[in-house]
Amino acid sequence: MRKSVNLFFVALTLSLLPMWFQPSEANPSAARAQTATRSWLIRLVPPRATFAEDATPAEQAVMQQHVAYWKDLNDKGVCTFGGPVLDPNGAYGILVVHAATEDEARALAEGDPSVKAGVSRMEIAEMRVTFTSVHHALGTRD
């Protein structure tokens, strides 16, 4: 009986989560802020397919600045996540950011030290995030 009651409360709690995290009618600015922000996928395109293996010391230094730039934006909640995609045809980077417009997302991308230095270029597309993982942990694999 106790297990059934616990499962009921878990199910009830999970069913109420969407309502708890919706902006309230009493706070219309929160509702506007939530709808004003869109998600953007940014693809970091390296200068060559072998860049991950043969970056020069100068390029590596720029990429360290690149990581620090995006880590700061992640800490501020602007960049949801990012990292390298280990494609056998050549690694590239992926970032997801929140911005109201494509111009704002582009400005974030153009602020990247690797883009400023001409080491890489960015491609941007709007992304409709359908779901996110609340259990994502760095370094884990499913």
Residue 137 pLDDT: 55
- Measured in whole angstroms, the distance separating CA 141 from the mean position of its chain's CA atoms is 18
> Is the Cβ–Cβ distance between 63 and 119 less than 8 Å?
yes
Tokens representing 142 are 């499913």
| Alpha-helix residue ranges (DSSP H) falling in 55-120 | 57-75, 102-110, 113-116
Backbone Cα Rg of the chain: 20
pLDDT at 139: 53
- For the segment 14-39, the average pLDDT, to the nearest whole number, is 49
Q: Which of 27-31, 75-79, 84-88, 118-122 has the lowest mean pLDDT?
A: 27-31
Q: What domains, with CATH codes, occur in the chain?
A: 37-127 (3.30.70.1060)
**What pLDDT is stored for residue 79 in this prediction?**
96
- Average pLDDT over all residues of the chain: 79
Residue 13 predicted with pLDDT over 60: no
Q: State the pLDDT at residue 119.
A: 96
Residue 79 one-letter amino acid: C
